[in-house]
């Protein structure tokens, strides 16, 4: 039985509060304290802080056979039996290729001023090299123009894992330095044609994952399990591709174009914030990222990395390292979880990584361990270790079960919990002067989540993949309020 919207259970609860002299409505003082908690602890984000959202080409575009697009390694991979959990493909995905104008309006509704998206290499060069496909780049020109017309700044990623299948067949993909050079040629071509409107370009997204999952564990395309020496060589070729692409962009883009990587670095956190443990976390960060981010920012592989790799170390030249460390303008960091909690150790390495207990909490995705402090320590380490002056959080977000309620809405309070706590730690970072200039929530809308298919949902907007209807979740309102306040809501 219900009484004017109150269930019997809720009525009893209110009655119980009254017995103890507790009002069902919080006091004005309590409400003010709650609303001002984050502000009391940390200063607001900087006035020019850039709030954005993100997607990637293969995960949302669909239209894999339209307008001259060539096949990618993910097209091949998703059509192999047993590779994707729900046996789905991204042949249609979110149909963003045809619905991009409506999706731009979703970004605008959030109040976000930036959108990070990727360009599909096989749309522009169907064979990876050779004759470009003008219709492929035309789509991205239309998207960029639509964003700018709505006051949204485009941030472009050149490689978000969709390697042209032709390069995989011809060279073995990233197993060959020929692919590194092909990537640079593609990067220079695109930069020359979009840098009149696009001022910020990310080279490669998540080297760490694309190498290990694609060439080590085989859970991502191209689905290989190589010996460790070959994995290290693949990583070197990806790093080289980044460096050569930076050089190509400098040579072909308009003056003032900014460029950098977007990496899911190994995030090392002091288990207890003592000076010794903080230093241990810094040492661990440098070593655990030695194969890519450290090499980019220092121009060398660390002695520890080469000693640990031994005979499995990659083959490289001084010219390679010079290219890899070509000067960059910013570092993008994809921050989801802590990779290691560390303490100071007397083991000769200066740090000791601690094991994760079986009870350590995680989100809907089992791999996504909850550790909001990762959002503070990741940019702090990058700024402190390598004197980086410009950092973007290029991805952060979480999957959630996202069940439709009886009123047709999605009250994803778990996602809000996750975002609120991570953003509080980011607000801590910027209040201390750590140079984070912007944040891109992952993701704008539910999409094809690689080997998870459509089983995991990360979006602020729910997508019905049968009808392509987009519906805002409660987290969209939360993020909208964060953007409006320029502070944690």
Interval 372-425: pLDDT, tens: 999 999 999 999 999 999 999 999 999 999 999 999 999 999 999 999 999 999
pLDDT band, very low/low/confident/very high, at 20 (cuts 50, 70, 90):
very low
In the predicted model, is pLDDT for residue 269 greater than 60? yes
pLDDT at 10: 39
CB burial of residue 255 (10 Å; 0-12, 13-18, 19+) = exposed
In the predicted model, is pLDDT for residue 4 greater than 80? no
Separation of alpha carbons 478 and 487, rounded Å: 11
Return the half-sphere exposure (C-beta side, CA atoms, 13 A cut-off) of residue 346.
0
SS3 369: strand
pLDDT at 349: 86
Return the half-sphere exposure (C-beta side, CA atoms, 13 A cut-off) of residue 45.
21
pLDDT band, very low/low/confident/very high, at 344 (cuts 50, 70, 90):
very high
Report percent pLDDT > 90 for the chain: 90
| Across 171-187, average pLDDT | 98
Question: What phi and psi values does residue 391 have, to the nearest 5 degrees?
Answer: -130, 140
Question: How wide is the angle at C-alpha 159 spanned by C-alphas 104 and 422, nearest 5°?
Answer: 65
| Across 458-467, average pLDDT | 98
pLDDT at 64: 98
CB burial of residue 431 (10 Å; 0-12, 13-18, 19+) = middle
pLDDT at 40: 40
| Across 270-290, average pLDDT | 98
Separation of alpha carbons 156 and 194, rounded Å: 9
Q: Nearest 10 degrees: CA dihedral of 205, 201, 63, 183?
A: -70
Separation of alpha carbons 218 and 212, rounded Å: 8
Question: With contact defined as beta carbons under 8 Å apart, do 166 and 127 qualify?
Answer: yes
Question: How wide is the angle at C-alpha 391 spanned by C-alphas 234 and 57, nearest 5°?
Answer: 55
Per-residue pLDDT reduced to its tens digit, 183-193: 999 999 999 99
pLDDT band, very low/low/confident/very high, at 21 (cuts 50, 70, 90):
very low
Per-residue pLDDT reduced to its tens digit, 24-61: 343 443 444 333 333 446 889 999 999 999 999 999 99
In the predicted model, is pLDDT for residue 19 greater than 70? no
pLDDT band, very low/low/confident/very high, at 17 (cuts 50, 70, 90):
very low
Separation of alpha carbons 337 and 421, rounded Å: 12
DSSP state of 206: -
Which helix (DSSP H) or strand (DSSP E) does residue 480 occupy?
helix 474-485
pLDDT band, very low/low/confident/very high, at 169 (cuts 50, 70, 90):
very high
pLDDT band, very low/low/confident/very high, at 346 (cuts 50, 70, 90):
confident
| Across 208-216, average pLDDT | 98
Among the ranges given (34-48, 100-114, 217-231, 273-287), the one the predictor scored with the smallest mean pLDDT:
34-48
| Across 160-166, average pLDDT | 98
Question: With contact defined as beta carbons under 8 Å apart, do 104 and 69 qualify?
Answer: no
Quote the radius of gyration of the chain (alpha carbons, Å).
23
Separation of alpha carbons 181 and 129, rounded Å: 10
| Across 274-285, average pLDDT | 98
Query: In the predicted model, what is the mean pLDDT of the chain?
Result: 93
CA-based diameter of the chain, in Å?
79
| Strand stretches in 278-348, DSSP E | 331-334, 340-343
Question: With contact defined as beta carbons under 8 Å apart, do 65 and 71 qualify?
Answer: no
- Partnered with residue 457 across adjacent β-strands are 400
In the predicted model, is pLDDT for residue 9 greater than 50? no
pLDDT at 13: 38
CB burial of residue 250 (10 Å; 0-12, 13-18, 19+) = middle
Question: What phi and psi values does residue 468 have, to the nearest 5 degrees?
Answer: 65, 20
Token readout for 6 is: 């109150």
pLDDT band, very low/low/confident/very high, at 313 (cuts 50, 70, 90):
very high
- Partnered with residue 154 across adjacent β-strands are 115
pTM greater than the 0.85 cutoff: yes
Is 346 a residue of the active site?
no
Catalytic residue among 206, 266, 282, 373: 206
| Across 354-377, average pLDDT | 98
Strands 50-54 and 391-395: unpaired
Residue with tokens 């002056």: 389
Alpha helices in 150-259 (DSSP H): 165-171, 177-194, 207-215, 228-252
pLDDT at 129: 98
| Across 350-375, average pLDDT | 97
pLDDT: is 135 or 35 the higher one?
Answer: 135
Question: With contact defined as beta carbons under 8 Å apart, do 272 and 342 qualify?
Answer: no
Question: With contact defined as beta carbons under 8 Å apart, do 314 and 354 qualify?
Answer: no
How does 280-295 read in b/e, with b if 16+ C-beta sit within 10 Å?
Answer: bbbbbbbbbbbbbbbb
pLDDT at 34: 38
Residue with tokens 């064979």: 127
Separation of alpha carbons 135 and 128, rounded Å: 15
| Across 230-257, average pLDDT | 98
pLDDT band, very low/low/confident/very high, at 348 (cuts 50, 70, 90):
confident
Is 206 a residue of the active site?
yes
Separation of alpha carbons 84 and 413, rounded Å: 28
CB burial of residue 486 (10 Å; 0-12, 13-18, 19+) = middle
Separation of alpha carbons 450 and 51, rounded Å: 25
pLDDT at 426: 98
Catalytic residue among 61, 282, 373, 395: 395
Among the ranges given (39-53, 236-250, 465-479), the one the predictor scored with the smallest mean pLDDT:
39-53
Count CB neighbours of 102 within 10 A.
Answer: 11
Separation of alpha carbons 219 and 365, rounded Å: 15
């Amino acid at each position: 039985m219900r009484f004017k919207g109150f269930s019997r259970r809720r009525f009893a609860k209110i009655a119980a509060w009254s017995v103890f002299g507790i009002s069902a409505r919080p006091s004005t003082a309590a409400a003010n304290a709650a609303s001002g908690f984050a502000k009391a602890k940390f200063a607001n984000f900087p006035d020019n802080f850039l709030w954005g959202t993100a997607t990637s080409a293969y995960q949302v575009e669909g239209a894999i056979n339209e307008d001259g697009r060539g096949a990618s390694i993910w097209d091949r991979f998703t059509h192999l039996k047993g590779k994707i959990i729900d046996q789905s493909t991204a042949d249609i995905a979110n149909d963003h290729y045809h619905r991009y104008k409506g999706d731009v309006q979703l970004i605008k509704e959030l109040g976000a001023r930036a959108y990070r998206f990727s360009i599909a290499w096989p749309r522009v060069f169907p064979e990876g090299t050779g004759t470009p496909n003008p219709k492929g780049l035309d789509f991205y020109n239309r998207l960029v123009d639509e964003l700018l017309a709505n006051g949204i700044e485009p941030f472009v990623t050149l490689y978000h894992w969709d390697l042209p299948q032709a390069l995989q067949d011809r060279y073995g993909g990233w197993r060959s330095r020929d692919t590194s050079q092909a990537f640079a040629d593609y990067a220079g071509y695109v930069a020359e044609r979009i840098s009149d409107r696009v001022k910020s370009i990310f080279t490669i997204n998540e080297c760490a994952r694309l190498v290990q999952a694609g060439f080590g564990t085989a859970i991502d395309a191209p689905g290989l399990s190589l010996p460790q020496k070959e994995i290290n060589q693949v990583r070197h070729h990806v790093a080289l591709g980044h460096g050569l692409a930076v050089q190509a962009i400098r040579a072909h883009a308009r003056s003032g174009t900014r460029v950098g990587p977007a990496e899911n670095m190994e995030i090392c956190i002091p288990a207890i914030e003592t000076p010794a443990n903080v230093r241990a976390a810094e040492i661990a960060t440098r070593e655990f990222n030695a194969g890519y981010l450290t090499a980019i920012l220092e121009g060398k592989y660390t002695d520890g990395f080469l000693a640990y790799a031994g005979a499995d170390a990659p083959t490289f030249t001084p010219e390679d390292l010079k290219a890899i460390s070509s000067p960059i303008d910013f570092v993008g960091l994809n921050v989801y979880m802590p990779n290691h909690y560390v303490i100071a150790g007397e083991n000769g390495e200066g740090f000791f990584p601690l094991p994760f207990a079986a009870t350590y909490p995680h989100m809907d995705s089992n791999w996504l361990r909850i550790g909001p402090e990762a959002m503070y320590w990741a940019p702090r380490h990058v700024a402190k270790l390598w004197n980086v002056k410009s950092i973007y959080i290029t991805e952060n977000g979480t999957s959630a079960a996202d069940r439709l309620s009886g009123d047709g809405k999605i009250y994803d309070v778990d996602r809000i919990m996750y975002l609120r706590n991570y953003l509080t730690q980011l607000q801590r970072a910027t209040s201390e002067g750590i140079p984070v200039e912007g944040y891109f929530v992952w993701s704008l809308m539910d999409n094809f989540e690689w080997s998870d298919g459509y089983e995991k949902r990360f979006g602020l907007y729910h997508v019905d993949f049968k009808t392509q209807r987009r519906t805002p979740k409660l987290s969209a309102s939360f993020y909208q309020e964060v953007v409006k306040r320029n502070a944690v809501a």
